[in-house]
Amino acid sequence: MSLLADVQAAQIEWENKLDIAGQGEVKKVALMQRQDGTGLFIPLLEVEDFGRRENDPAGRSLPPHVSFELTIKEGLITKEHADKTIAIDHGKQRYGILRGSGAEAGVWPPIGSNRFWRFWVAPLEELP
């Protein structure tokens, strides 16, 4: 990773500690995919360093149907992981990955100076 990616990764880690752990929330998310044939949600990958934003990287408000933007460090997931992810589990809540405008899948790769993956999510269901 580049120096910029390292700095942004440290920022995500710090935001996670302040915003998530400081509120007693679960410190990891599970990226979920659909199982072939059954359509059931199955775990793809667990990630412990993530961030949660109420605005996009430019500081603009997210659309009303988006609960928050999940950010994950560049080096923790691959494009294949991101492409397969259709939901995330966090604590007792499952969130769906939302579709953006046009053909966007609600998942944005690291680009330019933003060295993290971005996911737009909204609640799907409570987990047992």
Query: Which pLDDT belongs to residue 21?
Result: 47
Query: Which pLDDT belongs to residue 91?
Result: 87
DSSP state letters, 38-79: T--EEEEEEESSEEEESB-TTSPBPPTT--EEEEEEGGGS-H
Query: Which pLDDT belongs to residue 20?
Result: 47
Query: Which pLDDT belongs to residue 8?
Result: 67
Contact present, 44 and 101 (Cβ < 8 Å): no
pLDDT tens-place values along the chain, 128 residues long: 576 766 666 666 656 554 544 455 667 899 999 999 999 999 999 998 788 888 888 888 888 888 999 999 899 999 999 989 999 999 899 999 986 665 455 788 998 888 899 999 999 999 98
Query: Which pLDDT belongs to residue 18?
Result: 45
